[in-house]
Amino acid sequence: MSEKINLENLDAQIDRLVKQRLIAEIVFKGITPWWGGDYNGFTSNYVDEEEIVGRLRWFLRTVYNRFCVNNLSDYEEAERRVSEYLGSTNNKSIYTFKVRNVKVRNGNYSYLQRVSFILQGKPRDLQDRFLPKNVDVLVLDIYSRKASNYDKIIIDGLLITLAFLGIGKGANRGFGRFIPVNCNNLQNTVCNNIIKGDIIGAFSKFYDEFKNEEKCNKVNKWIESAVPLAPLTQTSEDSISKTGCKNSEINTLLDIIQTALLKSTLKENSYNMNVKDPGPFIHTWIYGLPRHSKVPRKINQCSMDVEKDNLSVNDEEVKKLQKMGYFELNGDKLVEPRRQSMLIISPVFDGNTYSIYVLPFLSLKDNEEELNKLVHKGIHITRNIIHLASVKSILKGNNLIETETQLINKRSDLSKGNLQTLIVNYIRELILNISKQCKGNTTSLKIDKSRVTSRSQGKSGGGYLRK
């Protein structure tokens, strides 16, 4: 005989059981614009729990890779350990996260460089739906289904993730930061450090907690790793770095961050070049991929010759690509590469003003593998050619046109050499360029649409359209 189940009573019982294991109730406020969205790209009025947990999982894996794992060739060891408390396909999570009481309002962000680029080509009547928003309040409840020693790791790891790594679109470039309103229900040093804007103190305290709980005290080296390692807090080439940039206006800082990453900025500030000059030897791919620009409509690639430096690529396929910049060589085809940036650039709020920090999550071995596949495509108008060159050969100063061989020596430390040294040099240069942009006249940061053509966003003109 079947028995009818009272679903309302069942739900009530489940709620009571869940609330018995509420380990944290944290009220957050957004300190930089929220830009998370749905599958259509529209900015959502709701912050999704899965997005928060996904970012937290990634962060914890990098911490585990830094201090605990023996095998740095892949994520397997770290993922297996983190899945013990955050769950996986075959393993139920110890913790449940619930977002509630989200209060969102519109903000004026359409003129930010990164946002303006996203809006290009979007119907005017829909553009508002793509804009970042302000989150005034977000309440996050964390439940545990059983007693666990990992509560502190989860709570403090989540605080650091939301405050310094961010969530949503543009998180690596300063969007989507949230800090706790107070630490009344937490009473721990990490929370207090975050509210004070002490990023080094927060990371140091969390690392100590993590290593103590996991019983590991290695300091794995990024040059031996194929997976990103969490940044150190002591002075080293892969430690958290404070730039010389401080400002009370978050919009100004977000544009400074975006501008500092442009190839045109490196041309002007680092190489003392004209932005119209070719620059395939400026390795902005280190800052993340894809990086490309559109081929102007006036350029007829079909009438051009293809110089490809012994690369096994079909000429007609090259001409069909309406983009210049970096591609991966896959067989005889060029495909768009995608790699998350190793560098998270974070505005840190101390209660009154923001300071920009660079957080390097570095690895070398996987980038060496990527280097073997990367190809640069440029167009040289006066010679009527499309020029392909492997990035690996460019690093050696080979397969460049005459003008480029002269320009490359302006900053050989950024143009050629071994990849390990280049990564370190590009981090230092990024910090310098952020500081330069910050000290300069902020009115120069008003958007120049001629520079916003892609993630590379370099001007083109004259005889060159080399990215």
List the pLDDT tens digit at each of the 467 positions of the chain.
455 667 777 777 666 666 668 999 999 999 999 998 877 789 999 999 999 999 999 999 999 999 999 999 999 999 999 999 999 988 899 999 999 999 999 988 998 988 988 888 888 888 898 999 999 999 999 999 988 899 999 999 999 999 999 999 999 999 999 999 999 878 678 999 999 999 999 999 999 999 999 999 999 999 999 999 999 999 889 999 999 999 999 999 999 999 999 999 999 999 999 998 999 999 999 999 988 888 888 899 999 999 988 899 989 989 999 999 999 998 888 999 999 999 999 999 998 999 999 999 999 999 999 999 999 999 988 889 999 999 999 999 999 988 899 999 999 999 999 999 999 999 999 999 999 999 874 444 443 433 333 443 333 333 344 44
As beta bridge partners, residue 29 has 179
Task: Note whether 255 and 142 are same-domain residues.
Answer: no
Task: Note whether 112 and 70 are same-domain residues.
Answer: yes
Q: Look up the pTM and report it.
A: 0.90
Q: Give the whole-angstrom CA distance, residue 375 versus residue 35.
A: 32
In a domain, 318, yes or no: yes
Domain count, the chain: 2
76-86 and 151-160 helices cross at what angle (nearest 10)?
A: 110
In a domain, 6, yes or no: no
In 3-state terms, what secondary structure has residue 179? strand
* Burial class (CB within 10 angstroms; exposed 0-12, middle 13-18, buried 19+) of 200: middle
Do 130 and 83 form a contact (C-beta atoms < 8 A)?
no
Q: Which of 188, 223, 258 is the last residue of a domain?
A: 223
Residue range of the domain that includes 370: 245-465
* CATH number assigned to the domain comprising residue 185: 3.30.70.1900
In a domain, 2, yes or no: no
HSE, side-chain direction, 13 A CA sphere, residue 453: 20
**DSSP element (H, E) containing 154:** helix 151-160
> Rounded to 10 degrees, what is the CA torsion of 241, 246, 249, 252?
-70
Q: Give the whole-angstrom CA distance, residue 47 versus residue 44.
A: 7
